[in-house]
Structure 1
């Protein structure tokens, strides 16, 4: 293998390693939602009520969505290099619409197991889908425009937290869906609801910034300069988080709370808002992601080879893991003595409020699920590498 191809493979592999790592960690949060005894009744990030281990279990998964969306933008840039601008834009548009459909029809069903779709849950795939639609439009204007819009959205969207909500119901709903959603429930009728948990445009900003650094990952870009850029920008982003958190004036809709307790103050310092993703939240997560990208490019060991398998087929893994987790939930629902009368729960069927296990058992389930998905992911990765059907680019 020549030097150019070696550099290229390392560059792309680092993306898959990081993406695979966040996919593995992401499953921990969903496992906790389905199986932890306190998941339906308590806030694991509340310093007043949580424990150190429970806080960490939820907090570490904060890194998943921003990193995944950021890398989606980076991958979109690299994919566009193989296409004409018109082809790249059209592909992003079609894939964005496809992802929105998948969120509603497939992933929401995996989460709820409700064939009547009484509660449709709109999360990260919904946000990625819309972000790709907007990226399809902005990328046709210019690369610089994508980067500028991304910076404005990420740094400026918390401005809306400084003003009261519009009195007009329609304007208020539009503002929530696009900027400030933190669990907005939209009633369709008396029996059907939509839960908007990911405000679209802050996540669009994250994707645009990922697209913006894509130029560092082009084939002819020097690896040392790429790593230096990632280290500098990643470090500055972490420092931005620390500075904003200490100043405690702008960057999060919920200002940091002070306690007369060192441990609680430490937890409060890192307890930033994900819904919607505040500037502090994004700085706390994307900064370390860039630092990790800089470090892992030259890593090649058994662990990185395993994580890169998950990262090479993230959509496949993401969809399958929900159905596997919920199937296990059904099994344990009946195995622990619950009856068919207790199936109907909102939003998750087979998930009564009183159901659940201790945190160590949650970790055991998580590890088993991740391990069981390795071989299917490896098979699908090889299938994608050896087949060229058009639909593979959408999964």
Structure 2
């Protein structure tokens, strides 16, 4: 096995792992008996240890996936002309925007009228790829500079008085940097929910692209692993220091509680919406350290994770439909009727507020969802390996 192949496998193992864990979060959203899907499972005042851990572990998924997308973009582009690579990234970014609006929104809501359009991580990745395509055509050094500024500097906006989000300038700043959930009405019956601020995630992708050269065939493998490990360790230590002293890098300082467990809960409850520097340090730090340590891992678990990591886009889109179809089955099996498919003030069909199960059952459903997707992922992986249609490059 060549060194290049090992490098690709290590990325696929980690990407597969975060894709599997990500499905836990979405399964919990639909199946946990927490009443309101929008409630915060990391709120120290209302959560418990099992629920908190279930949400905390899934925090690692989005930043790791976005960062690895940047590395993969570099690996895909290195054997192409800059213009060709740039055009592909821009077109793929536009395709992802379409997928988020049409396929992911329907998978989440099962509402054929699209009364609520959900813009989340694929939306942010799509715009990030478009920006990466533009910047990389100019200079890879420019990608690194802009990535560093966005990644480490976006929390400077915490110290500024920003325009209200219901103004044009304030809404644009929210979409680009600060949204914690912005709702944009489209007429009287349609609404856009914007949950991912674009540019902080772009910073993570640009930095991923910038370290892609560590995976060149002429780059020393031991040096790469050291760089990954110490970069990750530095990010993790920066999180611990910044969080402990309530310094830069998060919209809200930590709070001490009389209950020690609640104090610990609060310490790790950093902002994902929008993603703060402390959030990136807490998640990407361990992710880079793990990426450093799994280059030579070969066991049954890594082989399973590679199945999901080889076809992440296919898995990501399909898993929403599997989860929501399972929800429909459980909905009717639990005795709900067609008159309860729609819940007032909720965009998600087949999900009444009083529906749901305990977390152990949610975990069983999650494992079932992941198991169901295993064979389709193997099939699609083989299909991509044996077919050369142009559209497969976008999946």
Give the TM-score of the pair, scaled to structure 2.
Answer: 0.97
CA distance in 2, matches of 1:175, 1:134: 17
Deviations 1:111-143 (A, max 9, x none): 000000000000000000000000011101111
Q: Partner residue of 2:154?
A: 157
Structure 1 alignment gaps of length 5 or more: none
Whether 2:95 is the aligned partner of 1:106: answer no
CA distance in 1, matches of 2:79, 2:340: 52
Q: Partner residue of 2:124?
A: 127
Query: Which portions of structure 1, spanning 4 or more consecutive aligned residues, are displaced by more than 4 angstroms?
Result: none
Query: After the TM superposition, which of the residue ranges 38-47 and 213-222 deviates more from structure 2?
Result: 38-47
Q: Partner residue of 2:347?
A: 347
Partner secondary structure for residue 107 of structure 1: helix
CA distance in 2, matches of 1:149, 1:39: 42
Q: Partner residue of 2:387?
A: 387
Residue of structure 1 aligned with 2:60, choices 63, 71, 83: 63
Partner secondary structure for residue 60 of structure 2: helix
Whether 2:24 is the aligned partner of 1:28: answer yes
Q: Partner residue of 2:70?
A: 73
CA distance in 1, matches of 2:264, 2:72: 35
Residue of structure 1 aligned with 2:142, choices 137, 140, 145: 145
CA distance in 2, matches of 1:302, 1:32: 27
CA distance in 2, matches of 1:329, 1:119: 19
Contact 1:15-1:293 at 8 Å conserved across structures: yes
Contact 2:66-2:204 at 8 Å conserved across structures: yes
CA distance in 2, matches of 1:163, 1:347: 34
Q: Partner residue of 1:175?
A: 173
Query: After the TM superposition, which of the residue ranges 200-209 and 381-390 deviates more from structure 2?
Result: 381-390
Q: Partner residue of 1:202?
A: 200
Q: Partner residue of 2:10?
A: 14
CA distance in 1, matches of 2:210, 2:35: 37
Contact 2:175-2:197 at 8 Å conserved across structures: yes
CA distance in 2, matches of 1:98, 1:244: 38
Q: Partner residue of 2:377?
A: 377
Give the TM-score of the pair, scaled to structure 1.
Answer: 0.97
Q: CA deviation at 1:164?
A: 2.5
Give the RMSD, CA atoms, in angstroms. 1.0
Deviations 1:298-328 (A, max 9, x none): 1000100110110000000001000010001
Q: CA deviation at 1:39?
A: 5.6
Query: After the TM superposition, which of the residue ranges 155-164 and 58-67 deviates more from structure 2?
Result: 155-164
Partner secondary structure for residue 193 of structure 1: strand
Contact 2:35-2:355 at 8 Å conserved across structures: no
Partner secondary structure for residue 194 of structure 1: strand
Structure 2 alignment gaps of length 5 or more: none
Contact 2:35-2:354 at 8 Å conserved across structures: no
Residue of structure 1 aligned with 2:84, choices 84, 87, 91: 87
Q: CA deviation at 1:240?
A: 0.5
Q: Partner residue of 1:305?
A: 303
Q: CA deviation at 1:154?
A: 1.1
Whether 2:40 is the aligned partner of 1:43: answer yes
Partner secondary structure for residue 186 of structure 1: strand
Whether 2:314 is the aligned partner of 1:316: answer yes
Contact 1:40-1:353 at 8 Å conserved across structures: yes
> Would you say how many aligned residue pairs link Structure 1 and Structure 2?
391
Deviations 1:327-346 (A, max 9, x none): 01111111111111111132
Check 1:39–1:83 CA distance in 2 against 1; reply closer, same or farther (3 A cut).
Answer: farther
Q: Partner residue of 1:214?
A: 212
Partner secondary structure for residue 319 of structure 1: helix
CA distance in 2, matches of 1:46, 1:109: 29
Q: CA deviation at 1:249?
A: 2.6
Contact 1:74-1:210 at 8 Å conserved across structures: yes
CA distance in 1, matches of 2:158, 2:190: 29
Residue of structure 1 aligned with 2:113, choices 112, 116, 141: 116
Deviations 1:283-309 (A, max 9, x none): 111111110110000100010011011
CA distance in 2, matches of 1:285, 1:382: 32
Q: Partner residue of 1:266?
A: 264
Partner secondary structure for residue 59 of structure 2: helix
Contact 1:32-1:39 at 8 Å conserved across structures: no
